Amino acid sequence: MLILLLNKSQTMKKIFLLAILGLITFISCKKDNFERFTPSSGGFDAKQVTASFAGIIVGANEEPLEGVLVASGSNTTTTDENGAFFFKNISVPNNKAYFTATKAGYFHGSRTIFAQANHTHQVRIKMLDNNPIGSIMNNVGGDVILPQGGKLTFEAGDVAYPNGNPYTGQVNVAAKRIDPTTDNGRFEMPGDLRGKDKEDKDVTLASYGMMAVELTDNSGNLLQVAQGQTVDMTFEVPASLVSTAPTEIPLWYFDEANGEWKEEGSATLSGNTYEGRVSHFSFWNCDANFRRVYFEATFVNESGQPLVYAFISIELPDGTRRHGITNEAGWVGGEVMANATMKIYFAINSSCTSLAQEIMDFTTTNLDINLGDIMVTVISPVTHTISGTLVDCADMPVSNGYIQIESDNWYFGYNTPINADGTFSYDYTSCTAVDSVYLTGYDYDNLVQSALLGYDLTISTDLGNVKACGVVLDEFITFNYTTNSGNDTIQTMLPPNIGMQDSIGNGWSAWGSDSTGTGNMFFWLQANTLSTGNYAGSGTLEGISGWQSFNCDYTVTSYPASFGEYIEGSFVSTNATPIVTGSFRVKKQ
């Protein structure tokens, strides 16, 4: 067993927030036989719904991005130091919940998902830096080669300011290739693969190559393609798609205002690249489009419990697949091919796709389809048992605390409760007999935690003593929930699973999410104050008995003037039921 002391920036962890994507992936069209399809009218009940969204925004190396402005309709917020954001009970179209992300130094990011009413969905966006990769002189022109594959060819005078004023100096070119066949590409691409064709019909797209481009002058001012001019774009086709790539394919640009792709022009296949000309720059995409219908299903185990964050793959008749991940209710939804017979594959998580099992065939017509509950007898990956004893700085057992377990191979961490004598034991699944995990031990009585510890685990590993000592616990939300029958649920929520927003109306809000391995619990506080003292407010809890709202009395003992310092206090519900009490320490931001 290898034990390492690690810094969080070294772990490349994927934290708990997981994008619930609308089955975005890619199909093939037969070479030299591209057919333009029209969309189905279908029977999907598109409407406004109220839902909540927890998200994470990261950079190219999975680093959380702080200070990203996130918007959905008229709702806005910014990410915290963990790249996290949260929208509670906002109104969105259930077939097009659209989120945009902007931050200086990056191309704009966005995500579009399907949403269920009164559920919490998770959103993941990966933003690409817009550092220039090359430059040309506008009075000369020239080529800019993308390191990841692809090329831009400018002729003299192709570039001007967006208002049409001429420009004669150096053009700095930021460009990124996006490979639509990779996991990175699926999180980097904007929106999802839905668009409007040149006849303004709704279509679903199959990408054969994508690129983001931005032009600036030496002062950082934006430039664009001059009116009446075009620039040559060369897209590299992913190797796995070359054999099925059509000889001619439509070009599409991403319309940020509407969150969808718009058809404009076409590109021609030459070897393993597509070549086309564009009259402006944003995200550009080489896509076939096909007739689609809406698909949804809920995956459960033999006991009827939802299979949370499972990896779902749908194989189309040509052997290509569409992928999705279930939400906290086991539900997944998106668009699939119309009038076709397809196969559904299931894996317990997206790290174990090699263990995907074939579940069933289903056939679509030109109408939307809801398969209802699909029961799965899960073929489990390797089960690991990790155990030990959490102790404090004096090597005495911790009776009130948690062990947080995370891994590079998981999309979220597990918070494992400890027993009264400090012992803990946790079973989790992995694809391999040896797995690397990261542990943090938390001592709530003394408000301290361990350093981040790294372990290489075998099937059964006893870690011995894990010391929660040396690092002050700076943020937490803890609560005690008592039911009518007197049963208590005690929960503490920790970074990176908590967030806070100041000055909502005349107060502030804080929220937390805790993953226990059996499902997610979300907790929301809203206090009507911007100072210390006793104040009224409210709270919302999901995960014990559906959505429950209650009124609260808050005692705020610390309310700093500056951002980055901590709000502290306690709360107690004033409703007859449920009885909820707790305390908090959250960073003002």
Q: What is the mean pLDDT of the segment spanning 379-392? A: 80
Q: E strands of 495-565, at which residues? A: 498-504, 507-515, 520-527, 533-542, 547-558
Q: What is the rounded CA–CA span in Å between residue 360 and residue 268?
A: 38
Of the listed ranges 13-27, 67-81, 133-147, 191-205, the one predicted with least confidence: 13-27
Q: Which of 48, 42, 16 has the alpha carbon at shortest distance from 295?
A: 42
pLDDT at 547: 65
pLDDT at 89: 87
DSSP letters spanning 262-304: EEEEEEEEETTEEEEEESS-SEEEEEEEE-EEEEEEEEE-TTS
Q: What is the mean pLDDT of the segment spanning 300-316? A: 83
Q: Do domains 134-290 and 382-472 have the same CATH topology?
A: no
pLDDT at 495: 57
| Residue 59 in tokens | 């950079």
User: Phi, psi at residue 543, to the nearest 5°?
Assistant: 125, -15
Average pLDDT across the chain, whole number:
79
| H/E segment holding residue 9 | helix 8-11
Per-residue pLDDT band for 319 (boundaries 50, 70, 90) equals low
Q: Which of 362, 363, 359 has the alpha carbon at shortest distance from 375?
A: 359
Q: Are strands 283-290 and 321-325 parallel, antiparallel or unpaired?
A: unpaired
Per-residue pLDDT band for 20 (boundaries 50, 70, 90) equals very low
Per-residue pLDDT band for 411 (boundaries 50, 70, 90) equals very low
Beta bridge partners of residue 92, listed in sequence order: 49
pLDDT at 22: 33
How do residues 35-50 score in pLDDT, each as one tens digit? 333 333 334 567 899 9
CATH classification number, 291-380, choose in 3.30.10.20, 3.40.50.1820, 2.60.40.10, 3.40.47.10? 2.60.40.10
| Residue 303 in tokens | 């006991």
Residue that the structure tokens 């073929």 belong to = 379
Q: Which sign does the torsion angle of CA 410, 412, 418, 422 carry?
A: positive
Domain residue ranges in the chain: 134-290, 291-380, 382-472, 476-587
pLDDT at 230: 96
Per-residue pLDDT band for 85 (boundaries 50, 70, 90) equals confident
Q: What is the rounded CA–CA span in Å between residue 288 and residue 252?
A: 10
Q: What is the mean pLDDT of the segment spanning 263-273? A: 95
What count of other Cβ atoms lies within 10 Å of the Cβ of residue 451?
16
Greater pLDDT, 148 or 325: 148
| H/E segment holding residue 213 | strand 202-216
Q: What is the mean pLDDT of the segment spanning 122-151? A: 91
First vs last C-alpha separation in the chain: 40
Greater pLDDT, 446 or 544: 446
Q: Is residue 496 pLDDT above 60, yes or no?
A: no
Q: What is the mean pLDDT of the segment spanning 3-24? A: 32
Of the listed ranges 27-31, 142-146, 503-507, 523-527, the one predicted with least confidence: 27-31
**Architecture of the domain defined by 382-472:** Sandwich (2.60)
Of the ranges 228-237, 418-427, 470-479, 494-503, the best mean pLDDT one:
228-237
Q: E strands of 73-169, at which residues? A: 75-78, 84-93, 97-102, 109-113, 120-126, 134-137, 141-145, 151-155, 159-160
Which residues have C-beta within 8 Å of that of residue 476, sequence separation ≥ 6?
444, 447, 492, 493, 494, 498, 583, 584, 585
Q: Are strands 292-300 and 369-375 parallel, antiparallel or unpaired?
A: parallel
Q: Is residue 31 pLDDT above 60, yes or no?
A: no
Q: What is the rounded CA–CA span in Å between residue 149 and residue 176?
A: 9
| Residue 272 in tokens | 């393993």
Q: What is the rounded CA–CA span in Å between residue 346 and residue 355?
A: 8
Greater pLDDT, 245 or 511: 245
Q: What is the rounded CA–CA span in Å between residue 414 and residue 309?
A: 13
Beta bridge partners of residue 429, listed in sequence order: 383
pLDDT at 497: 58
**pTM, full prediction:** 0.62
Q: What is the rounded CA–CA span in Å between residue 489 and residue 158?
A: 65
Per-residue pLDDT band for 578 (boundaries 50, 70, 90) equals confident
What count of other Cβ atoms lies within 10 Å of the Cβ of residue 517?
14
Of the listed ranges 84-93, 343-352, 510-519, 546-555, the one predicted with least confidence: 510-519
Per-residue pLDDT band for 519 (boundaries 50, 70, 90) equals very low
Task: Count CA atoms within 13 Å of residue 369 on its CB side.
Answer: 17
- Cis, bond preceding 578 (omega within 30 deg of 0): yes
| Residue type, position 403, single letter | I
Q: Is residue 320 pLDDT above 70, yes or no?
A: no
Residue that the structure tokens 């290739």 belong to = 177
| Residue type, position 529, single letter | T
Q: What is the rounded CA–CA span in Å between residue 17 and residue 513?
A: 9
Q: What is the rounded CA–CA span in Å between residue 17 and residue 124?
A: 7
Q: E strands of 316-451, at which residues? A: 321-325, 331-337, 341-347, 357-363, 369-375, 382-391, 401-406, 414-417, 423-430, 435-443, 448-449
Q: Which numeric CATH code is attached to 134-290?
A: 2.60.220
560 close to 550: Cβ distance less than 8 angstroms: no
